[in-house]
Amino acid sequence: MFLIPCPHCGPRAMNEFSYGGDATVTRPAAPGEASDGEWIEYLYLRDNPKGGHEELWQHIHGCRRWLRVSRDAVSHDVLGCVEATEAPS
């Protein structure tokens, strides 16, 4: 188990959080005009990176805010954590 340094509550165990997915995926700019291929890519196709990666986590047993967590997908070391609306750390 690893600790996530919540900017509001301080370092907390990962089991206080809920994983929200890849923070680098962007929704099609014009959803009504997006092709089926663009929607398939947005909804289903994901990279499986080795090393540093940006993820979304919600602090469900704390401040309930969405956070952008920089984490190493191999070692599970947390490299940084900011509000989900902020630029990557």
| Per-residue pLDDT tens over the stretch 55-65 | 999 999 999 99
- How far apart are the C-alpha atoms of 45 and 13, rounded to whole Å? 29
DSSP 8-state code for residue 29 = S
Tell me the domains of the chain and their CATH numbers: 3-23+38-83 (3.30.2270.10)
User: How much is the pLDDT for 88?
Assistant: 62
Burial (CB < 10 A; 0-12, 13-18, 19+), residue 36, is exposed
DSSP 8-state code for residue 38 = H
Q: 47 versus 60: which is more confidently predicted?
A: 60
